[in-house]
A and B are shown apart, each in its own frame.
Chain A
Amino acid sequence: MRTTIQQPNSPQNGETFQFKPELLTLSRTWKPKAEEGRLRKMIFVWIALAVIVIFFMLPIAYLFSTSFKSPVDVVDGSFFPNAVEAENWPRAFAQVPLWSFMRNSILAAAFSVFVTLGVAVMATYAMLKLEVGKSFLPDMILASYVAPPIIALIPMFVLMQKLGLLNSIAGMVLIYGLMNVPVAFWLMRSFVLQVPKALDEAAWLDGASYFKTFFRVTLPLLYPAMIATGLICFILSFNELLFAQAMTFDSDSRTLPVGISLFQGERRVNFGQMAAASSAGIIPVYFIALFCQKWLIGGLTQGGVK
């Protein structure tokens, strides 16, 4: 049998292999095929992804697009403006005190995050380290999470009224700060349960005071969990409407969702300006969403899938 292709040397005692010649030839000519139907599958995947992305981007895109429409374009029904009308943006800011709303929202959300984290971190620490309420707390907190927030609306309204904190940013900080504790605790707990070893080591340092151990050892371990939790709580507070619209009455304390929901409720509202105001209100959260994506996804998945 004559073949142009050499049998490879066997690594066994220098003999050569005795492969079948046609297999040997094939070994030189065979190329990995583009799998049959791979192209069809790729096309399917791309179409499916395009549909998904379009669906999830559509309302946002339409909102932004509308923010550049003149009153004539708005009733035209087309997706994009016929002529770009940038005036809507400055007019929206002139029409409603957007800057105040934005400031109120950011202040309320940011300070409430500190309240929430303070409470949640202590609770997490107590549960893990001091073994207090190890089974009782999570159950209780889950139960309080099942309860709809409307339960707390009326009693809190009355309470805030008595404390004189109605219609104030401080009041909203307190409300949000406490309201997000169950979520924060739940998130922190599932984060921390992932690193039980590290926390156990903290116990070795018990010779020092509790507080020293807490600040030197435990707290730094909790930082990643705190960042993710804090971001999620910030967005929850920033987006909240029910309590804010019941408890704030003027532009010194109203948050963005309240301000914008009132704006859109007015009778003779200019759609272009309304869209511009809404778009402006979205920008801060999208900023966080895009730049802190990793933390947000980490936080969401930690809390969600136990």
Chain B
Amino acid sequence: MMLLPVLAGLGAFFIYPFVYLIGLSFSKSTLANTFQKWVGWDNFDWMFTGTNFTSSIATTVIFAITVSIVQLILGLLIAYLLYTSVKNGRVLRALILLPLMTPPVMVGIAWKLLLSPTGWINSLLSQAGLIEQPISILGDQRFAFPSIMLADTWQWTPFIVILSYAALQSLPEDVFEAAALDGAHARTTFFKLTLPMLAPALLSILLIRMIMAFKTFDLVFVLTQGGPGGQTDVSTYTIWRTALQEFDLGLAGAQTLLFAIVISLVTLPIVFLNNKAEARL
């Protein structure tokens, strides 16, 4: 009885959408007029042949894997520095928490200002003599995608810092003292003890971050709108455009289903690894 609300929530946000989407994806539907007629696999055929959705999926997968790994490494290093070298890091951690709390739209705007042709980064680059003309970093095929990754890394590395810091704190101190007496210096300790002992926690963190990265929307919405030339067209953004700007709900449904399947395929191996690593300790 007390589970009813949560089941209703699950139903509303998970089961009902799935069923509804399956329905949509086999129908011709627009935003104004759903389920006009059943069209079989037409939407799927069109998705694979007539749209760039597979490349959008590839972009998303590359994005999610790259940022989550980069952020994991960066976040762990920062957490390790804070843990080993800073006695009272409360103020530092409070500052580092801020990017995480910033609404992604504002994050996007801040980076847009920094990266704009009249922004500070351009003026730095030209002062350093690296460029002659101001460049549109976000409008450049080479730099747009890395820029999104940079902004995402800025926002989400703090999440990893905080989680890995907590994981570091939970490690038993005496084991490290035993290792010091056993003759292990900093590097050995880090690679032979710290990392393996953190592995399960780090995998959990990586998993959560990767799942979140798959859902990225806001930064792309504000910074590049999927451009230039579809370079930053992550799937959530593509689907959003199909549904709410092209109003083709049937195609959007097919895209969403494919997207959901891909996410599961990419993240499930990590879930599996994670459970295995946890069983070891």
Contact = CB atoms under 8 A, between A and B. Distances in A.
Asked whether the complex places CB atoms of A and B closer than 8 A, the reply is: yes
Contact of A241 (B6, B211, B221, B249): B221
B40 to A, nearest CB: 20
B16 A155 contact: yes
Contacts of A159: 12, 16
A127 B170 CA distance: 27
Interface in B140-160: 151, 154, 157-159
B107 to A, nearest CB: 7
Interface stretch (B48-56, B65-73, B119-127, B174-182): B119-127
**Most A CB within 10 A of own CB, among B101, B154, B167:** B101
A52 to B, nearest CB: 6
Contacts of A178: 8-9, 12-13
B98 A289 contact: yes
A255 B170 CA distance: 39
Given A53-B95, A56-B96, A242-B236, A261 B105 contact: yes
A257 B104 contact: yes
Nearest to A279: B106
A289 B95 CA distance: 9
Given A45-B81, A151-B260, A274-B109, A282 B204 contact: no
Contacts of B201: 305-306
Q: Label chain A's interface by main secondary structure.
A: helix
B120 A120 contact: no
Contacts of A154: 17, 20-21, 24, 243, 249, 252-253, 256
Contacts of B12: 152, 156, 159, 178
Contact of B34 (A148, A158, A286, A290): A158
B58 interface: no
Contacts of B256: 148, 150-151, 154
A163 to B, nearest CB: 11
B130 interface: no
A60 B102 contact: yes
Contacts of A179: 13
B42 to A, nearest CB: 18
A26 to B, nearest CB: 24
Given A148-B259, A155-B20, A63 B106 contact: yes
B88 to A, nearest CB: 13
Interface string A18-56: 000000000000000000000001000100110011011
Interface residues of A, number: 89
A147 B263 CA distance: 8
B163 A301 contact: yes
Interface in B13-39: 13-14, 16-18, 20-21, 24, 31, 34
B120 A78 contact: yes
A149 interface: yes
Given A150-B240, A285-B101, A305-B205, A275 B118 contact: no
Contact of A242 (B95, B98, B102, B218): B218
Interface of A: 41, 45, 48-49, 52-53, 55-60, 62-63, 66, 74-79, 118-120, 122-123, 125-127, 130, 132-133, 137, 140-141, 143-159, 178-179, 181-182, 185, 235, 238-239, 241-242, 245-246, 256-257, 260-261, 264, 271, 274-275, 278-279, 281-282, 285-286, 288-290, 293, 296-297, 300-301, 304-306
29 contacts: A48-B81, A53-B95, A56-B95, A63-B109, A63-B110, A76-B123, A119-B8, A122-B2, A123-B6, A126-B1, A127-B3, A137-B3, A147-B260, A148-B260, A150-B239, A151-B14, A154-B24, A154-B253, A156-B17, A242-B217, A257-B103, A257-B106, A257-B218, A264-B222, A278-B105, A286-B101, A289-B101, A304-B159, A304-B166
Given A55-B154, A285-B103, A305-B166, 17 more contacts: A49-B92, A52-B96, A59-B110, A60-B99, A77-B134, A119-B9, A150-B215, A152-B12, A154-B252, A154-B253, A278-B106, A286-B101, A297-B162, A301-B163, A301-B166, A304-B205, A305-B170
Closest 9 CB pairs of A and B: A77-B123, A123-B6, A301-B166, A59-B110, A239-B103, A155-B20, A144-B14, A257-B105, A126-B2
Interface of B: 1-3, 5-6, 8-10, 12-14, 16-18, 20-21, 24, 31, 34, 78, 81, 85-86, 90, 92-99, 101-114, 116, 118-120, 122-123, 134, 151, 154, 157-159, 162-163, 166-167, 170, 201, 204-205, 208, 211, 214-215, 217-218, 221-222, 235-236, 239-240, 243-244, 249, 252-253, 256, 259-260, 263-264, 267
